[in-house]
A = this chain, B = another copy of it.
């Protein structure tokens, strides 16, 4: 995320942390090169348009610890990172509730061109109330209506990306003097409940046309959306066992939507703290926790859960917390049967966000990751940092070699677009089973831009 504190609260204060350099282009270009050194598939950039203002009823705590605020536009640094890398993909978060599809489609196509087909779009349909208020809505659109709107939004952008410019429309023919054959460009004539877009896409077809579609919503409506549209999905699970229940459900829903079992890759959120061995990793975790910020943690969890923890006595044991929602939420964060005070939970969970924290040397971490894949049924991991870029560098230096030795991660990139790399397909465009593909040939034979032309004199 283009901010200081993403999933960890307070660790920006660690001496090695570069988090507060998020405004510096060099931070991003170095991070992208580092990810490519580790053969990471994608740099995923989360986003919120709004602030976490549940804790104590204001954004003070979030501001104090830079907990996802200030936050920059996730599109800003992409082309700089693309210029210094060749393979790593860029997953960019953008909501369907705020920007018009005619404009967002162009924004994403432009980056898919400039990155030579390395863009993924994390489709977000839910947002903070504070975001909705600042763009002039009193509250968020009701949850289910948001997914109706999202469904129509996807139809519009698919029509623009896949249907409006036929394959072969762009000739770039310097000899004949034809750049685009207008008989192969089609107005999409979209008239729906939310949007009306009569024209054609402003951008010529990019390497992937439709960027790889990411999704992260875990609600029933969110999962239904993912089952239809997503090619990568981010989940949240506390253990391989609970991940298995979720991945089985998701894969069944993908099949029910008429798509292949491998059409959707599932990535689970983890924070990994590692080092040369278990003891070094444990010490590093403890050292990181000495920078943990209760204020930032409570701001983040307030936003995520909608619960204000401000009224709690820090030194009360968990079982003494009278408010049921607060107590069960805190218990779920440390579910290990031990005795904890509120303060201890808050400190311990200042790192890792809502996801598990794995602490250990290369073999311990590799063993754990294998269980998440083999028993949990996930395809991979959405790794958050405890300290940036140290968490990334440590993972690459300590864990990647072990995983390579076990044959569990790639040692070089596949050629082609991000979609080809992620799904292993040839071509680089959406699969036949994906709803975008429906529109690819849809307008062929229908009205083209050339059909609408009036007569003209000959200028030959």
Interface residues of A (CB under 8 A from B): 2, 4-5, 10, 12-13, 15, 20, 23-26, 28-29, 49-51, 55-61, 63-66, 69-73, 75-84, 98-100, 102-103, 106-107, 109-111, 113-115, 130, 133-136, 170, 172, 174, 177-182, 185, 195-200, 202-204, 206, 293-295, 308, 310-314, 343, 346, 449-450, 452-459
> Complex formed: what's the CA distance from A50 to B195 in Å?
16
> Complex formed: what's the CA distance from A203 to B457 in Å?
54
Q: Is the CB of B180 within 8 A of A66?
A: yes
Partner of A82, one of B25, B78, B179, B313: B25
Minimum distance in angstroms from A121 CB to a CB of chain B = 14
Partner of A98, one of B10, B60, B100: B100
Q: Is the CB of B177 within 8 A of A10?
A: yes
A174 CB contacts on chain B under 8 angstroms: 12-13, 15
Minimum distance in angstroms from A19 CB to a CB of chain B = 9
Partner of A59, one of B15, B343, B449: B449
Partner of A60, one of B135, B206, B450: B450
Given contacts A79-B80, A110-B76, contact A70 B180 (CB under 8 A): yes
Q: Is the CB of A199 within 8 A of B130?
A: yes
> Complex formed: what's the CA distance from A454 to B299 in Å?
13
Q: Is the CB of A77 within 8 A of B76?
A: no
Minimum distance in angstroms from A93 CB to a CB of chain B = 13
Partner of A454, one of B29, B57, B107, B197: B57
A457 CB contacts on chain B under 8 angstroms: 310-314
Which of A65, A76, A172, A200 has the largest count of B CB atoms less than 10 A from its CB?
A76
Q: Is the CB of A110 within 8 A of B73?
A: yes
Q: Is the CB of B295 within 8 A of A69?
A: no
> Complex formed: what's the CA distance from A180 to B61 in Å?
9
Partner of A64, one of B84, B135, B182, B197: B182
Minimum distance in angstroms from A116 CB to a CB of chain B = 8
Partner of A197, one of B136, B197, B453: B136
> Complex formed: what's the CA distance from A140 to B75 in Å?
28
A70 CB contacts on chain B under 8 angstroms: 170, 180, 202-204
Minimum distance in angstroms from A157 CB to a CB of chain B = 13
Minimum distance in angstroms from A385 CB to a CB of chain B = 17
State the number of copies, please. Answer: 2
Given contacts A106-B73, A113-B23, contact A198 B134 (CB under 8 A): yes
Residue of B whose beta carbon sits closest to that of A203: B70
> Complex formed: what's the CA distance from A444 to B294 in Å?
28
> Complex formed: what's the CA distance from A177 to B111 in Å?
37
A110 CB contacts on chain B under 8 angstroms: 2, 72-73, 75-76
Residue of B whose beta carbon sits closest to that of A130: B199
Q: Is the CB of B179 within 8 A of A72?
A: no
Q: Is the CB of A77 within 8 A of B79?
A: yes
What 9 additional pairs, Cβ within 8 angstroms, besides A23-B113, A64-B182, A73-B111? A5-B179, A10-B177, A15-B174, A25-B79, A49-B102, A72-B109, A76-B110, A80-B80, A136-B196
Minimum distance in angstroms from A54 CB to a CB of chain B = 11
Q: Is the CB of B199 within 8 A of A56?
A: no
Given contacts A20-B172, A66-B180, A135-B100, contact A456 B56 (CB under 8 A): yes
Q: List 27 A-B contacts (CB under 8 A).
A: A13-B177, A23-B114, A25-B114, A49-B103, A50-B202, A57-B454, A59-B182, A59-B200, A63-B179, A63-B449, A64-B179, A64-B180, A64-B182, A70-B204, A73-B203, A75-B107, A76-B79, A79-B80, A80-B80, A83-B83, A98-B103, A133-B196, A133-B198, A135-B197, A136-B195, A314-B458, A314-B459
Residue of B whose beta carbon sits closest to that of A173: B13
Which of A72, A170, A182, A452 has the largest count of B CB atoms less than 10 A from its CB?
A72
Residue of B whose beta carbon sits closest to that of A65: B179
A60 CB contacts on chain B under 8 angstroms: 182, 449-450, 452-453
A133 CB contacts on chain B under 8 angstroms: 196, 198-199
> Complex formed: what's the CA distance from A65 to B79 in Å?
27
> Complex formed: what's the CA distance from A447 to B310 in Å?
21
> Complex formed: what's the CA distance from A197 to B343 in Å?
36
Minimum distance in angstroms from A77 CB to a CB of chain B = 5
A63 CB contacts on chain B under 8 angstroms: 179-182, 185, 449
Q: Is the CB of A83 within 8 A of B82?
A: no
